[in-house]
A = this chain, B = another copy of it.
């Protein structure tokens, strides 16, 4: 039953329209009729491509996720200095400022709404965040290689911190309709790297007590 030619194209059109609607109205706020209407496709045709709405949501996650990660990859791949990182921050904040922070992060919003309701979707989003984190880890790896941040820095943890700072920034921007807190949040992460370098440069004194008093399970 799965033969394709232009069929794939209209499927993409459906997903693209759904992604746009879900971004602005949320997943729950987006009707299949809306999607059908926006994508200029008949409903019967929709059900030829997707068994139900859940499947559509998953497809949207993949679509949005690939785009977001691809965009971030392109931008982060070029970063080799702290100033480069700041330019990346400017870019992502600027993009978000186009809507005054509305709708938040295309991935984060989906994650928040869907993670607890659809296990498969949750897993996809988990992978996407992991991919994003890996992009940061690669940037940090280059910074480390070039001696910009210390050799003993835990890249994975720092990368996690960056993803969290970005996501937290998105949420605050969304809530306040102002991207300033997002810029501030990401800034703090970047400054953190700077301070790490400085701490190493000046005597590596009392040492790195990353004390964590028995937390996570």
CB-based contact B115/A172 at 8 Å? no
Q: Does A117 contact B (CB under 8 A)?
A: yes
Expressed in whole angstroms, the Cα–Cα distance for A131 and B118 within the complex equals 33
As for how many copies of this chain the complex holds, the number is: 2
CB-based contact B113/A188 at 8 Å? no
Say whether, besides A97-B216, A167-B167, A195-B192, A160 and B175 are in contact (CB < 8 Å): no
Q: Does A126 contact B (CB under 8 A)?
A: yes
Q: Does A191 contact B (CB under 8 A)?
A: yes
Q: In the complex, how many residues of chain A place their beta carbon closer than 8 angstroms to a beta carbon of chain B?
A: 73
CB-based contact B196/A181 at 8 Å? no
Q: Does A199 contact B (CB under 8 A)?
A: yes
From A10-18, A101-109, A136-144, the one touching the partner chain is A101-109
Q: Which residues of B contact A174 (CB under 8 A)?
A: 111-112, 115-116
List 7 interface pairs A-B (beta carbons < 8 Å), by A numbering: A94-B215, A112-B113, A122-B175, A122-B177, A129-B172, A183-B212, A202-B205
Closest B residue, CB atoms, query A124: B175
Q: Which residues of B contact A113 (CB under 8 A)?
A: 26, 112-113
Interface 1/0s, chain A 160-188, versus B by CB < 8 A? 11011111110110111111111111011
CB-based contact B126/A176 at 8 Å? yes
CB-based contact B175/A129 at 8 Å? yes
Say whether, besides A29-B117, A164-B171, A108 and B112 are in contact (CB < 8 Å): yes
Q: Which residues of B contact A89 (CB under 8 A)?
A: 215
Say whether, besides A111-B171, A168-B167, A29 and B29 are in contact (CB < 8 Å): no
Say whether, besides A215-B90, A216-B97, A187 and B169 are in contact (CB < 8 Å): no
Which residues of A are interface residues toward B (Cβ below 8 A)?
24-26, 28-29, 83, 86-87, 89-90, 93-94, 97, 102-104, 108-109, 111-113, 115-117, 122, 125-126, 129, 157-158, 160-161, 163-169, 171-172, 174-185, 187-189, 191-192, 195-196, 198-199, 202-203, 205, 210-217
Closest B residue, CB atoms, query A97: B217
Closest B residue, CB atoms, query A179: B216
Closest B residue, CB atoms, query A217: B97
